[in-house]
Amino acid sequence: MTQAPVGAISAGDTAWVLGSSALVLLMTVGLACFYGGLVRSKNSLNTMMMSVVAMGAISVQWVLVGYSLSFAPGSAWLGGWQWVLFRGVGGEPNAYAPTIPAHAHAIYQAMFAIITPALISGAIVERMRFRAYLAFLVLWSTFVYAPLAHWVWGSGGWLQKMGALDFAGGTVVHISAGVSALVAARFLGPRRDFRRVPLSPHNVPVVLIGAGLLWFGWFGFNAGSALAANALAALAFVNTNTAAAAALLTWALLDSFRTGKMTAVGAATGAVVGLVGITPAAGYVTPPAAIAIGVLCALVSYFAIQRRSRSRLDDSLDVFSCHGLAGVAGALLTGVFATKLANPAGNDGLFAGNPGQMLVQLYAVLAAVIIAGVGTVVILAVVRAVFGARARIADEMIGLDLSEHGEEAYFGGEAALGGSALAQSVIVSTHPEEAERRETAKKH
């Protein structure tokens, strides 16, 4: 995301950015489906709500303080307070949005702020109390996301002044969310039945629908970051589709070589990894480079997941492997493939004769890792002290759909049946009303 001199408002640019804002919001719905299909049925509503609730909580937080702390003129480390409650943000252009209303830029950035902490939820599903998660969302967006967004994209941000390239959120969104997911998974510990019972996706078609919505919405995420309906947006659009396709094919082939089968979940995961990897580079590289980025990011994430599956880490939906590591790979590969031939406002990378850009990209990666890692530990410690972070054993066994929301996705499904004999005994002893409900259901 680059800044340009303020000019007259363009109807075409405004329509494109507003449409892209809607596409990015749709990504959060896609994320809810993608994550919701990957978990067990007794936790599917809770998992989807972890994404949906961000649409409410972060939208309000963004108007109150988030946009100002991220983008208002301030220091090299944090935005100022001038735009709190959107004061001074209106129908006129500003330095970030030279041909669109400032409101359009603000709401577009709000959609990024919504989906970023929602990504973290995939590492902690099926075991975190919902109220604690909601508090974590707001605190993380305020004390981790806002400073990092200012460093990379804000006026006077220190990484921006250093020349870090992040077209649409490789460091700000994916590395920060991926690292925070890893820390959160370690902090909360594994699910009670981790490695004791099968933890398979309960609805693969919903996973594919979610991946499709993510792919569709990602055009707004990346191409919309041009903040204009122009050739740069078209380049980012092409690169986004190309990298996702290359990563999907790479993942499917890896699955085929390893197991003899091309899985639907693998194809969906590969596409998302390609989208993650191209995000920082979308407006700085050529389409052939996008193919290379998609392939390389798929290789990194695929083998990271294989390694994680043999460890004791319960990163439930492999957020760190798919977002954190693919985000790191994409950010560093931006420093390899970036060229001013693609975007004169960007910079040349290693292959264009500027190896120093790799070092700048590395600084940005390390900065994102540090603020996300440290910030997540501190925030989770506060949340645990105030709310308690982990669900009770009985609640995990019955499923968080019923225990946290009083609803279930499928009547008579896994949530109602308890999932195992151990779950049955725990639930009946601690939730007598649930035992009575089941007996009534059996009679009818």
Cβ atoms 351, 326 nearer than 8 A: no
Cβ atoms 278, 222 nearer than 8 A:
yes
90 and 205 inside one domain: yes
Confirm whether 93 is domain-assigned: yes
Q: What sign for the dihedral angle of Cα 307, 310, 315, 317? A: positive
Considering the domain boundaries, does residue 3 fall inside one? no
Q: Could you tell me if 298 and 331 lie in one domain?
A: yes
The one-character DSSP state at 128 is: B
Q: How far is CA 385 from CA 66, 129, 402, in A?
A: 24, 13, 24
Sign of CA dihedral 55, 61, 64, 70: negative
Q: Are residues 405 and 373 in the same domain?
A: no
Do residue 369 and residue 438 come from a single domain? no
Per-residue confidence in pLDDT tens, the chain, 444 aa: 555 555 689 999 999 999 999 999 999 999 999 999 999 999 999 999 999 999 999 999 999 999 999 999 999 999 999 999 999 999 999 889 899 999 999 999 999 999 999 999 999 999 999 999 999 999 999 999 999 999 999 999 999 999 999 999 999 999 999 999 999 999 999 999 898 887 889 999 999 999 999 999 999 999 999 999 999 999 999 999 999 999 999 999 999 999 999 999 999 999 999 999 999 999 999 999 999 999 999 999 999 999 999 999 999 999 999 999 999 999 999 999 999 999 999 999 999 999 999 999 999 999 999 999 999 999 999 999 999 999 999 999 999 999 999 999 887 655 555 444 444 444 444 444 444 544 444 444
Give residue 294's identity as a one-letter amino acid code.
G
* Three-class secondary structure of residue 390 per DSSP: strand
Task: Give the bridge partners for 128, in sequence order.
Answer: 390
| Domain CATH code at residue 312 | 1.10.3430.10
Phi, psi of 2 (to 5 degrees): -120, 160
Domain that holds residue 433: 393-443
User: pTM of the prediction?
Assistant: 0.91
DSSP label of 348: -
CA neighbor of 124 nearest in space, from 32, 57, 45, 50 = 50
d(CA 393, CA 16): 48
Is residue 5 a part of any domain in this protein?
no
Number of domain units in the chain = 2
